[in-house]
Amino acid sequence: MSFEPLKGSCFCGSVSYTLSGPPELSAFCHCTNCQRLMGCPFVHTIHFDAAHFAWTHPAPHAERLDAYVVPSKPWKTRFRCRACGACVASANSKTARRSVWGAHLERDSEGKITRWEDVKPTAHIFYETRMLAVDDDLGKWTGYEGKSERIA
């Protein structure tokens, strides 16, 4: 099965990437790490197999990125653009996944995320640590969807 690549970038466009395979998870994350690192009550996180993620800005790629290893989870590294400061991706060495945030994906002429149906969230994860309640039809989970307790 063929997958048309998705593209994403930071706010200023200095850092960019492409995703060549389908998401393994797409959810609204309410974990305290995402809240504190992103400064928002929750984020749209999308996980991909690491083999499907590639930086596309000019090499050497590290020159445009700052990396931050989460002390409580040393297997997770977050990458930010050095120019605009946007957190654009993370790498998880335990799961061999890369995560991106929906807000950074390519948009159409109306400002909507390209191929929304391929990446739309299917759940709220780590919902017990939410900062606000969300009234929608998506399942609410204590951890990852289908791997933890569903609470709503």
CATH of the domain at 84: 2.170.150.70
Q: Measured between alpha carbons, how far is 21 from 6 in angstroms, rounded to an integer?
A: 8
The label of the residue with tokens 């640590």 reads 129
What is the domain extent for residue 20? 6-140
pLDDT value, residue 121: 98
Residue 146 falls inside a structural domain: no
Tokens of 141: 């989970």
Q: What is the pTM of this model?
A: 0.94
Angle at 68 between CA 43 and CA 149, to 5 degrees: 40
Residue 103 falls inside a structural domain: yes
Residue 119 falls inside a structural domain: yes
pLDDT digits (tens, 9 = 90+) for 97-143: 999 999 999 999 999 999 999 999 999 999 999 999 999 999 999 99
pLDDT value, residue 1: 56
Look at 1-5, 52-56, 118-122, 124-128 and tell me which has the smallest mean pLDDT.
1-5
Concatenating the DSSP letter of every residue in 49-97 gives EGGGEEE-SSSSGGGGEEEEE-TT-TTEEEEEETTT--EEEEEETTTTE
Please count the structural domains in the chain.
1
